[in-house]
Amino acid sequence: MVKLLLRIMKTRLMKIRKISELLYLSMSIIATADYLFGSNDDYRKNILLLFAVIFLCMFFFRRYYRKKFQNRIK
């Protein structure tokens, strides 16, 4: 019974982690699009580019550790 509950909790956490990955990826795409097509001053464009890179790095970081955690479970 306890093992079943732990497995259910782990699958829910994996879904949450996938959703957070997609959120980071979408925020990176939005920041990049605003950087490329927005009518902003140079200072704001630099900040948008910085955030886009950070969001993209977070996407790959979260993805790497999620896959590593999934392989450890199996």
How far is the C-alpha of 54 from the C-alpha of 61, rounded, in Å? 10
How far is the C-alpha of 20 from the C-alpha of 14, rounded, in Å? 10
Query: What pLDDT score does 34 carry?
Result: 93
What are the residue ranges in the chain where pLDDT is below 70?
A: 73-74
CA-based end-to-end distance of the chain: 19
From the DSSP assignment, how many helices (H) and strands (E) are in the chain?
Answer: 2, 0
Q: What is the pTM of this model?
A: 0.79
